[in-house]
Amino acid sequence: MKIRSLEIYGYGRLEHRKFDIHSDFVQIYGENETGKSTMQAFIHALLFGFPKDGEYEPRLEPRFSPQYGGKMTLELQSGEIVTIERNYVHQKEEAIILLDGKQKDVHWLNQLLNHISKETYKNIFSFDVLGLQEVHRKLTEDKLQAYLLQAGAFGSTEFTQMTEHIKQEKSRLLNDDVSGEINKATEALQVLESQIRQKDLLFETYDTLLSEQDKLTRESAEYKTHLKELNQVLQRKQREIAFHDQAKEWKALEHKLNITPPTFPEQGIDRFEALKKQQHQVNRDLQLRQERLNQLTVENSTIQLLENTVIEQSNDLLKQEQSYRNYQSDLSHHSKMIDQLTNEQATLMKDIGWEEYHLVDAGPSVNEQASLTINQLEKDSLEKSQIDREINFVKDTIAKKEQALHDLEHVKVHDERFEKSLQLEKSKTDLIDKTKLYDTMKEEAATFEARQLKQYKLQQGSLLLMMLLFIGGAIYSFLIPQYILLSVFCVLAVITIVMLMMNKKPDLHFNQSLAQEVTDLNHKVKDLQDNFDLSFDLEEQRLIRQRMSEGKREIAREKNRYHQLNHSLQDINKRIEQSTSTLQNIRVKLNLPEDYLVTRLTLAIKQINKINALAIELETLNSKHKVTEQHILQFNETFNRFRQTVPVDLNIDSLFHDLKTMQTKDEKNKFQFNKNNDQIALLNKEIAIMQEQLLQFNKELKTLFDEAKVSNEPEYYAQEKIFNDYHRDLAQFDKLSRSLTDQGFSYDDNTALSYVTTIDLVAQQNAIEAHIEQLKRDLAQVNERLTVIHEQMETIESDDSLSRLKYELQIKKNQLNTLIYDFTAVNYIETLIDAHIEAVKEKRLPYVISDATEIFKYLTEDRYIQVLYKDQHLVVKASDGQVYHPTELSQSTKEILYIALRLSLIQSLNKYYPFPIIIDDAFVHFDRTRRERILEYMMKLKSNQIIYYTCNRSTVVTNKNTITLERINKEVKK
């Protein structure tokens, strides 16, 4: 199976790329980040499908292409063509598989690939420098042996990982240090059985505890009955002590309240004080309103109001305020503008050199002529300076290049030495090619010579045997005698002797002419090296001659350019003189001084046009200024007539403000006068109402005195105190009566309790409490014993640990059986894997070792002649007969041994898996000679196609077998 073409629609950084592969070995060269690894991942994706989300392998979806996928063309060993096209569309992978144009499915492709997985393919047929570096890790001798054997027998480390995992699993289940799960489960079973035996002893003490519990329960009930009765007596006594003071107070209030109840108006004090407060407030308000009435009467007599004619005249003047202010503003503005325009006109005339105003023609035609001429002059001046810079640059360039040629002349070797060096290089190349051809023909000639000598010896032996037989037959016929038969045997013997003499030894001579050519080339190379000093770098001399040739051509081009620039400079100078003359004529027409720059004529024309416009604008402003002054004089005459009629002093500068202030003041006076009149009428009404209220308050106060049966204010307050004391004592008596009744005391109990002393009650309470405390201590002892017994019985009753332990015992037994079953299964799997590994080693490994020997011998240039597998160990034999373990080999030799085992494994699997081999820069650590020897071997390998990715291009591989990847820089989407 060989890849013939790859077409990438979009995969990673590769987009719209197509590669045709016509050979069995192809070198794909590219610098870093040109897409070599992406192309390798693309091949894997087309053979086995795109990476799924969540896998460790990146999906490499393109950033700049709408398509994700591509197409591959394969050529089978039968000559049939298979096309595989995969695209990722609408979050779904689509695959189109064609066999000579006939549609096939993915299942057929899996059968074609012999159901190999992507990971297995990468482990066997696709390897890189990381796989080689694996042999340099800190591996022990056994691990390095296992790694190399797996590379040759299985192609991956999966079997070793599986074996290690099985060993770990067996160690986890059962080991000698009693840390395995089976050991732990057995120990747990023993502990559970001991706990079950201890629990059985607890149930024998339950009956004894039950009888003792019944006895103590009856004693506890008796103590509780006595305590309940005593507590009731104690509570009664405590209530008597608590309410003893209340009973005594109750009895005292009973004697105090045994009188006729006093009378007093309801809320009498509040009503009396409210009436007094209202009476005082009304008197104060009446006095304030009388004072306010007198004040308003005096204020109205002082207010002076304006006449209506004066107000009308002032309104007429106020209406002219805006126009007057506009006239003043216009007058000031006109004055400023006239001064400003006059100064601006003088400045402009000074800028162009005019001492007085001139009327000249500065129209658009003159401006356009000057502008075009100045633009042309500036353009020519700029071009002149550019040409001057280019001429100087060309001079410098010519000088530098001539100096560089001069320097190269010093390092350049003589032409004769250079020619001899070329002859030496050609002779070496021919010598290498003919030596390789000679070695190849020599091996074939040796094989042919051995075959011819073998054939010659076989012919000679046959003829000699026949001659002896014929001679023996002739002797036998002579002795019989049978002369006819004798003559026949003699003739045959003579013929055999003649044939034996004519059968010459083959004259085998190797191709002496080719050997002579090789010898001559060796002599020629030696003569050139001995007779001539050829120690210089030929490539460097070639580059020096090439640079000298290019330098001479560049000097000629620069000199030609120098002459062209001089000619252009002369033409530009003529155009500059013509433009300058035209501009000077325009300057004379505009009456400009001779020192005025001609390049500023367009600016002068603009200034002249602006001076003319300013003269016209000044004339217009002067006429407007005179009209505005006339309007202001008319308004001043009207103001002088009005000022004589008003009672206030007015000023023309603040006229409108004073008029507004006067009108505002008059309006305020009118408003205040009317407001005062309204307040005077209102105050007169309020005074009458307040006088009526005072009469009503006096009547209500007399009514309160009559109800309390008093005649003045002090007696009224004394009667209120007597009334309140009586009702407060009555409320306290009712409260005490309710409280004592609520506590269960009757009238007789209250009376009896009021005559008992507090000391007697406390003595009775202490005696009862002492008796209760003694009963409590006895009850506590009984309850404490009951609690202990109850806890012991409850522990025995609620203790389900026995059943739990038995249940747990059964679970542990089942778990132990499961672990034993798992251990047996793992042990069986280990036996199967070991048997499979041994079978693979017995059947496949001898062929792999044999092929690896040939490959290893070739790649090491016969320094190592054999790879051996003895006593489960892999060793190599050197040409001197020494046997080395892989750990004793150098770094590159170990890597070559690994490559030899991998390639020999691939050759042994070729019958079932004839897949392409993909190598991703795996030889970067090799020197040039060893790397080229590996590549030469791979180019001879015809069993599998080899795709070799590298960033270091090898000269051994021809351009025909090389594909170059170029870096494509694209801006990242934002």
Tokens of 221: 């009930």
pLDDT at 625: 82
Question: What confidence category does residue 71 fall into, taking pLDDT thresholds of 50, 70 and 90?
Answer: very high
Is 311 exposed, middle or buried, given 0-12, 13-18 or 19+ CB atoms closer than 10 A? middle
Q: Is the pLDDT of residue 83 over 90?
A: yes
Whether residue 481 is preceded by a cis peptide bond, meaning omega within 30 degrees of 0, is yes
Q: What is the average pLDDT across 452-469?
A: 84
Q: With the CA atoms of 333, 335, 338 and 341 taken in that order, what torsion angle do they form, in degrees rounded to the nearest 10?
A: -60
| Tokens 């990847």, residue located | 965
Sign of the CA dihedral 429, 432, 436, 439?
Answer: positive
Q: Is the pLDDT of residue 72 over 90?
A: yes
User: Could you give the CA distance from residue 915 to residue 75 in angstroms, rounded to a whole number?
Assistant: 11
Check if the beta carbon of residue 271 is closer than 8 Å to that of residue 704.
yes
Task: Kindly state whether residues 406 and 478 are assigned to the same domain.
Answer: no
**Which of 23-32, 459-468, 484-493, 836-845 has the lowest average pLDDT?**
836-845
Task: Kindly state whether residues 368 and 408 are assigned to the same domain.
Answer: yes
Q: With the CA atoms of 591, 597, 603 and 605 taken in that order, what torsion angle do they form, in degrees rounded to the nearest 10?
A: 20
| Tokens 């080991």, residue located | 175
User: Could you give the CA distance from residue 503 to residue 516 in angstroms, rounded to a whole number?
Assistant: 30
User: Could you give the CA distance from residue 875 to residue 866 in angstroms, rounded to a whole number?
Assistant: 9
Q: What is the average pLDDT across 834-845?
A: 65
Q: Is the pLDDT of residue 512 over 70?
A: no
Residue 482 within a domain:
yes
CA angle 855, 856, 862 (to 5 degrees): 110
Helix (H, G, I), strand (E, B) or coil at 513: helix
State the average pLDDT for the chain: 79
Task: Kindly state whether residues 643 and 608 are assigned to the same domain.
Answer: yes
Q: Look at residues 465, 520, 473 and name the one whose alpha carbon lies nearest to residue 496.
A: 465
Task: Kindly state whether residues 571 and 511 are assigned to the same domain.
Answer: no
Check if the beta carbon of residue 5 is closer than 8 Å to that of residue 73.
yes
Residue 159 within a domain:
no
pLDDT at 139: 44
Output helix, strand, coil percentages for the chain, rounded to the nearest 5: 70, 10, 20
CA angle 298, 299, 303 (to 5 degrees): 120
Q: What's 356's DSSP letter?
A: S
Diameter over CA atoms, the chain: 211
- Count of structural domains within the chain: 4
Helix (H, G, I), strand (E, B) or coil at 567: helix
Check if the beta carbon of residue 152 is closer than 8 Å to that of residue 850.
no
| Tokens 């001079």, residue located | 395
pLDDT at 207: 65
Q: Is the pLDDT of residue 972 over 50?
A: no
Q: Is the pLDDT of residue 855 over 70?
A: yes
Q: What confidence tens digit (pLDDT) does each residue in 630-661 have? A: 887 887 777 777 777 776 677 777 777 777 77
Residue 39 within a domain:
yes
Q: What is the average pLDDT across 11-15?
A: 86
Task: Kindly state whether residues 395 and 458 are assigned to the same domain.
Answer: no
Question: What confidence category does residue 65 fall into, taking pLDDT thresholds of 50, 70 and 90?
Answer: confident
Instruction: Report the DSSP beta bridge partners of residue 919.
Output: 127, 948
Q: Is the pLDDT of residue 897 over 50?
A: yes
CB neighbours (10 Å) of residue 454?
Answer: 10
Q: Which residues of 96-106 are buried (b: 16+ CB within 10 A; e: fewer)?
A: ebebeeeebee
User: Could you give the CA distance from residue 272 to residue 280 in angstroms, rounded to a whole number?
Assistant: 12
CA angle 871, 872, 873 (to 5 degrees): 90
Residue 540 within a domain:
no
Amino acid at 797: E
Determine the number of helices (DSSP H) and then strands (DSSP E) in the chain: 26, 14
Check if the beta carbon of residue 15 is closer than 8 Å to that of residue 959.
no
Residue 874 CB partners (closer than 8 Å, separation 6+): 145, 148, 149, 152, 867, 868, 886
Pairing of strands 81-89, 69-75: antiparallel
Task: Kindly state whether residues 568 and 625 are assigned to the same domain.
Answer: no
Q: Look at residues 919, 875, 881, 884 and name the one whose alpha carbon lies nearest to residue 899.
A: 919
Task: Kindly state whether residues 517 and 560 are assigned to the same domain.
Answer: no
Q: Which domain holds residue 80?
A: 1-116+917-973
Q: Look at residues 616, 650, 627, 618 and name the one whose alpha carbon lies nearest to residue 326.
A: 627
Q: Is the pLDDT of residue 137 over 60?
A: no
Domain boundary among 511, 535, 559: 535
Residue 133 within a domain:
no
Task: Kindly state whether residues 356 and 368 are assigned to the same domain.
Answer: no
Q: What is the average pLDDT across 460-471?
A: 85
Q: Is the pLDDT of residue 142 over 60?
A: no
Residue 872 within a domain:
no
Task: Kindly state whether residues 354 and 421 are assigned to the same domain.
Answer: no
**Which of 334-338, 671-675, 827-831 has the lowest average pLDDT?**
827-831
Q: Is the pLDDT of residue 400 over 80?
A: yes
Domain boundary among 535, 559, 578: 535
Highest mean pLDDT pick, 81-90, 242-251, 605-614, 620-629: 81-90
Task: Kindly state whether residues 420 and 531 are assigned to the same domain.
Answer: yes
Task: Kindly state whether residues 344 and 369 are assigned to the same domain.
Answer: no
Task: Kindly state whether residues 383 and 450 are assigned to the same domain.
Answer: no
Residue 808 within a domain:
no
- Assign residue 50 the CATH number of its domain: 3.40.50.300
Q: What confidence tens digit (pLDDT) does each residue in 935-944 have? A: 888 888 888 8
Tokens of 34: 């040109």
Q: What is the average pLDDT across 329-354?
A: 82
Q: What is the 3-class SS of 730-742, one letter each residue?
A: HHHHHHHHHHHHH
Q: Which pTM does this prediction carry?
A: 0.38
Higher pLDDT, 418 or 617: 617
**Which of 183-192, 268-277, 486-495, 528-537 has the lowest average pLDDT?**
528-537
Amino acid at 425: E
Question: What confidence category does residue 73 fall into, taking pLDDT thresholds of 50, 70 and 90?
Answer: very high
Percent of the chain predicted with pLDDT > 90: 2
Residue 545 CB partners (closer than 8 Å, separation 6+): 412, 418
CB neighbours (10 Å) of residue 493?
Answer: 19
Q: Is the pLDDT of residue 848 over 90?
A: no
Q: Look at residues 971, 914, 972 and name the one whose alpha carbon lies nearest to residue 75.
A: 914
Q: What's 62's DSSP letter?
A: -
pLDDT at 140: 46
Question: What confidence category does residue 138 fall into, taking pLDDT thresholds of 50, 70 and 90?
Answer: very low
pLDDT at 299: 80
Residue 303 CB partners (closer than 8 Å, separation 6+): 669, 672, 673
Question: What confidence category does residue 81 fall into, taking pLDDT thresholds of 50, 70 and 90?
Answer: very high
Residue 560 within a domain:
yes
Highest mean pLDDT pick, 20-29, 319-328, 502-511, 701-710: 20-29
Q: Is the pLDDT of residue 831 over 90?
A: no
Q: What confidence tens digit (pLDDT) does each residue in 187-217 have? A: 787 787 777 777 666 666 666 777 777 788 8
